[in-house]
Structure formats: structure tokens, C-alpha cells
């Protein structure tokens, strides 16, 4: 007696539809197994200590020593590309006893480890810098302030006439558009 295998009638058609479906499910299961093993291996790689040669710190900038006639002399860390003016501004600006004729080149580029020296005014007679009151000075008095032109002095008079005077000398930069370099010098000759 022979045992014949009897299949469902039309089994070939059923195989045509079921085989691609089984292959698709197997491919999805294989892709899932592969991605989960790749994620596990990357997690293990992250737990390993990093190679210190590959992890370079970002550039720190410049370390500059500002000494002399500035408000707060000392060491300052500044971004690369800054100028001498920026170093003096970081040190609080020029002090009242700075020698304006012997200032360093304010537009010069800084180098790492540089020392910026601001000379003191040498007076044997004990001369005092006369400060000009920004809210009461005449046009001629304002023109004597370093960094003030005749036109800018007139703008200052117009501003205080229209808006009731200055509340701070910083308004010269913020409202009237005076350059920071001129302001650093001029503020030592002004009062309110």
C-alpha cells in the first residue's frame, strides 16, 4: 500500500501567495535582529574610555596681561582676533591718570601671552585733569574733550536740549553712536 500525500486542492496557488509573505516576515525579523544587535554594540562602544588623542579641547583664546593706568589691571582671557582696545576695555578702561600721548596702538592685534602696558601721566606739578560737565558745557568746552569733533559736540548739546540731559556718559555710545575707542578715552574727561 502506498501512502500518498494528499494536499489541498489548489495548493500551488496558495504557495504562490504564502511564500512571498513568509519571506517578507523573515526579512523584517532579520532586520530587527540586526538593528538591535547594532544598537547593543554601539552602547558597549560608548561605555569604553575615549581616545584622548581624538578629543581635543576647543581653542581657549588668548591670555593677556594688562598693566599700568587702567581701572583693574590683571590677567584677562579674550577671544582670538581681539585687539589691544578690547584688552583695555576688559580691564575696565583707562584710568584718569593714563598718559593719553603714550597709549599703545589700540588697533593692534593681540597675541597669546602679550602684556599690554598703559603709561601713567608723569606730572611733577600735580596737575589735575579738568572734567567737563556733559550736561552744562558749552560747545567750545565740549570740543576740547578728546574724541569730540565740532559736529559731535553739537549733537550732544542738541540731545541734552531735546531730552533733558544725559543720565550716563554711556549714552554717548548707545544713543549718539560714539565709537568705543573714543569713549574709552573721553569718559575720563567727562562728568555729569
9-48 confidence digits (pLDDT tens): 666 777 777 888 888 999 999 888 888 877 666 655 555 5
- Determine the pLDDT at residue 68: 82
Its domain, for residue 138, covers 132-191
* Domain-located, residue 102: yes
Q: What does pLDDT average to over the chain?
A: 77
> Is the domain of 106 the same as that of 78?
yes
Looking at the structure of the chain, the number of domains it has is 2
| Backbone phi and psi for residue 60, each to the nearest 5 degrees, phi listed first | -85, -20
* Domain-located, residue 23: no
Q: Considering 118, 149, 165, which residue would you say is the last residue of a domain? A: 118
* Domain-located, residue 91: yes
* Domain-located, residue 46: no
* Domain-located, residue 69: yes
136-186 pLDDT, tens digit each: 778 877 777 777 888 888 888 888 888 888 888 788 877 777 877 778 777
Q: What is the CATH number of the domain that holds 147?
A: 1.10.150.320
Alpha-carbon distance values, 8 to 5, 47, 163 (Å): 10, 56, 100
Q: Which of 66, 68, 67, 61 is nearest to 82 (CA)?
A: 61
> Is the domain of 136 the same as that of 184?
yes
SS3 95: coil
Amino acid at each position: 500500500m502506498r501512502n500518498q500525500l494528499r494536499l489541498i486542492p489548489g495548493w500551488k496557488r496558495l504557495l504562490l501567495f504564502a511564500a512571498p509573505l513568509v519571506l517578507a516576515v523573515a526579512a523584517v525579523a532579520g532586520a530587527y535582529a540586526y538593528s538591535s544587535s547594532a544598537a547593543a554594540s554601539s552602547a558597549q562602544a560608548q561605555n569604553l574610555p575615549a581616545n584622548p588623542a581624538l578629543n581635543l579641547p576647543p581653542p581657549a583664546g588668548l591670555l593677556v596681561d594688562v598693566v599700568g593706568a587702567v581701572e583693574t589691571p590683571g590677567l584677562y582671557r579674550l577671544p582670538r582676533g581681539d585687539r589691544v582696545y578690547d584688552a583695555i576695555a576688559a580691564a575696565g578702561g583707562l584710568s584718569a591718570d593714563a598718559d593719553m600721548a603714550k597709549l599703545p596702538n589700540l588697533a593692534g592685534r593681540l597675541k597669546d601671552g602679550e602684556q599690554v602696558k598703559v603709561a601713567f601721566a608723569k606730572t611733577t606739578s600735580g596737575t589735575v585733569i579738568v572734567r567737563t560737565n556733559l550736561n552744562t558745557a558749552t560747545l567750545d568746552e565740549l570740543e576740547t574733550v578728546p574724541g569730540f569733533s565740532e559736529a559731535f559736540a553739537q549733537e550732544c548739546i542738541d540731545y541734552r536740549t531735546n531730552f533733558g540731559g544725559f543720565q550716563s556718559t554711556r549714552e554717548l555710545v548707545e544713543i549718539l553712536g560714539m565709537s568705543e575707542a573714543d569713549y574709552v578715552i573721553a569718559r575720563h574727561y567727562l562728568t555729569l
